[in-house]
């Protein structure tokens, strides 16, 4: 049922989707859908929760704290872009649909902030110039935003390439950090 809901929500958006559409794709009756998942709002929230957990699991499973920070960032970025390429509907629900709908947008923004904090901590471990932690928080949010934009661009390609997209993002991050200097 959730797979069908993610498919319909990703295609039609929250407002353009009906419980009838979702029940049809799930090959169940509409009363059965209401019985198991409640209202359309509850169903959408369940989709966001499940897809966010799948996303976080895909990215965190690539973590290996024994690797140097740049390699950790590269693996995390590749896991992120691979998830997006392989789960396009999930990405559309999480990034394009949920961000535009209150109260769901707050749930997505909270997850985004958690990811940025992880990235910030990783960048701070590779701090070559003794920069302030606040600097890395800002850079991490910029990287998360760049990653989201690159994910959308990657999906516009005939053949999405998660590895090349991750390499681009990590290269931008590392070259930028190499030129960073503490404020006087």
The enclosing domain of 95 has a CATH number of: 1.10.357.10
Residue at 167 is within a domain: yes
Tens-place pLDDT, residues 29-65: 999 999 988 899 999 989 988 988 888 888 888 888 8
- State whether the Cα torsion 70-72-73-77 is positive or negative: positive
- Nearest residue to 123 (alpha-carbon basis) of 178, 60, 42: 178
Task: Report the b/e string of 60-77 with b at 16+ CB within 10 A.
Answer: eebeeeeeebbebbbbbb
Please provide the DSSP assignment of 49-67 as one string: HHHHHHHHHHHHTT--TTS
Cα-based distances in Å from 133 to 8, 16, 24: 42, 43, 51
Tens-place pLDDT, residues 122-179: 888 776 667 777 888 888 899 999 999 999 999 999 999 999 999 999 988 887 766 6
Q: At what angle do helices 40-60 and 2-16 cross, to 10 degrees?
A: 120
Residue at 163 is within a domain: yes
Residue at 91 is within a domain: yes
Measured distance CA(64)–CA(184) in Å, rounded: 35
Tens-place pLDDT, residues 17-30: 999 999 999 999 99
Instruction: Tell me the mean pLDDT in the region 66-92.
Output: 91
In total, how many domains does the chain have? 1
- The Cβ-side half-sphere exposure at 154, using a 13 Å CA radius, reads 28
Measured distance CA(104)–CA(99) in Å, rounded: 7
Residue at 8 is within a domain: no
Cα-based distances in Å from 72 to 67, 114, 153, 166, 174: 6, 17, 23, 12, 12
Q: What 3-state DSSP class applies to 105?
A: helix
Q: Residue 96 sits in which domain range?
A: 51-178
Residue at 4 is within a domain: no
Residue at 10 is within a domain: no
């Amino acid at each position: 049922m959730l797979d069908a809901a993610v498919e319909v929500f990703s295609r039609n958006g929250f407002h353009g989707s009906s419980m009838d559409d979702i029940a049809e794709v799930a090959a169940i009756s509409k009363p059965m859908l209401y019985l198991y998942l409640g209202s359309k709002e509850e169903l959408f929230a369940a989709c966001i929760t499940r897809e966010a957990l799948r996303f976080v699991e895909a990215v965190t499973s690539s973590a290996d704290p024994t690797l140097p920070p740049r390699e950790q960032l590269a693996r995390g970025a590749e896991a992120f872009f691979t998830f997006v390429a392989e789960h396009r509907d999930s990405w559309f629900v999480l990034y394009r649909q949920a961000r535009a709908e209150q109260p769901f947008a707050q749930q997505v923004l909270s997850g985004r902030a958690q990811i940025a904090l992880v990235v910030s901590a990783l960048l701070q471990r590779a701090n070559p110039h003794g920069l302030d932690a606040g600097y890395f928080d800002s850079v991490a949010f910029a990287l998360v935003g760049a990653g989201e934009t690159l994910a959308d661009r990657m999906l516009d390609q005939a053949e999405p390439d998660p590895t090349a997209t991750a390499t681009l993002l990590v290269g931008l991050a590392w070259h930028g950090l190499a030129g960073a200097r503490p404020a006087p």
